Amino acid sequence: MELKQAAQERHMVRKYLDKPIPAEVLTLLNQRVEENNAKHGLAVKLVTDDSTAVWTLMKIIAKNANNYYILAGDEADDLGDRVGYASADLMLYAQTLGLNTWWVGGTFNKKVQRFVGGKKVIGIVTVGYGATPGTQHKMKTYEQVAHYEGEAPAWFRQGVAFALLAPTALNKMAVTINGKGNEVQMKVNNGAFSGVDKGIIQYHFELGAGADNFHWV
């Protein structure tokens, strides 16, 4: 499965099978973590077989969420953006390997801090074999989020289509995407998660549009 297909098939999954992730798959996941950490200056860590990340009360809606990425790095103004971008890649890569994921923001157990020392934790992403593949969340339309000056080229429309597939905090998709020529501007307004949402949506837009077809302004 390629990343584009993974983006179209990925849905939020909170309940997982009691099925361990094979060692060879964990190796691939950790390699991807290392690549993203190096590229984006992060300290993301994959933790396995640990049930403490999800609060007891949250386990009413979650099950066997025992494997997860801790999304962390040195505190900086753009940490959320970089974490969002990297987490989008990690989620879709996991999907290509037959796994499912759930991006967890403010409701994760702060005990996960022990795994990353003094790094700032933005959130976690649970990963495992879903009890179901999940369902498509309600999506906004192209017209609700995007505007292109003149006739929009295929790459722009495709970029917006993939951006709309991105997971965002509370599924708000509080984004506007404007295009002119080969320039694209994005604005996200979703409170404390604006940076994270921006990074996630940017990744999906680039995946759909092709990063060589435009540049961000």
Pairing state of beta strands 68-73 and 100-104?
unpaired
Spans of all domains in the chain: 3-128, 142-216
CA-to-CA separations, 21 to 24, 39, 104, 117, 172, in angstroms, rounded: 8, 25, 20, 25, 31
In this prediction, residues 164-175 reach a mean pLDDT of 90
Side by side, the strands of the sheet bearing 100-104 are: 45-47, 68-73, 120-128, 100-104
Q: Which of 69, 5, 76 is nearest to 40 (CA)?
A: 76
- pLDDT above 80: residue 55: no
> Region 9-24: what's the mean pLDDT?
96
Check pLDDT > 80 for residue 170: no
Calculate the average pLDDT of the chain.
95
The pLDDT value recorded for residue 46 is 98
Tell whether the model's pLDDT for residue 59 goes beyond 80.
no
pLDDT exceeds 80 at position 60: no
Distance of CA 118 to the CA centre of its chain: 23
- Give the burial string for 125-145 (b: 16+ CB within 10 Å, else e): bbbbbbbeebeeeeebebeeb
What is residue 57's predicted lDDT score, i.e. its pLDDT? 61
* Amino acid 192: pLDDT: 87
Query: Which overall architecture, per CATH, does domain 3-128 show?
Result: 3-Layer(aba) Sandwich (3.40)
Asked if the domains at 3-128 and 142-216 fall in one CATH topology, the answer is: yes
Whole-angstrom distance, CA of residue 214 vs CA of residue 198: 17
User: Is the pLDDT score of 51 beyond 70?
Assistant: yes
Q: Encode pLDDT of 99-117 as tens digits.
A: 999 999 878 999 999 999 9
Q: Are 23 and 46 in contact (CB under 8 A)?
A: no
Q: Which CATH class is domain 142-216?
A: alpha beta
In this structure, the chain runs to a length of 217
Structure-token match 């995407």, residue found:
177
* pLDDT tens-digit readout, 121-138: 999 999 999 999 998 878
88-106 core/surface letters (b: 16 or more CB in 10 A; e: else) = bbbbbbbbbbebbbbbbee
Between residues 10 and 193, the one the model is more confident about: 10
Return the higher-pLDDT residue of 33 and 190. 33
Q: Calculate what percentage of the chain has a pLDDT beyond 90.
A: 85
199-210: per-residue pLDDT in tens?
Answer: 999 999 999 999
Q: What is the pLDDT of residue 56?
A: 65
Question: Percent of the chain having pLDDT more than 70?
Answer: 99
Give the span between the Cα atoms of 56 and 73, in whole angstroms.
26
DSSP label of 124: E
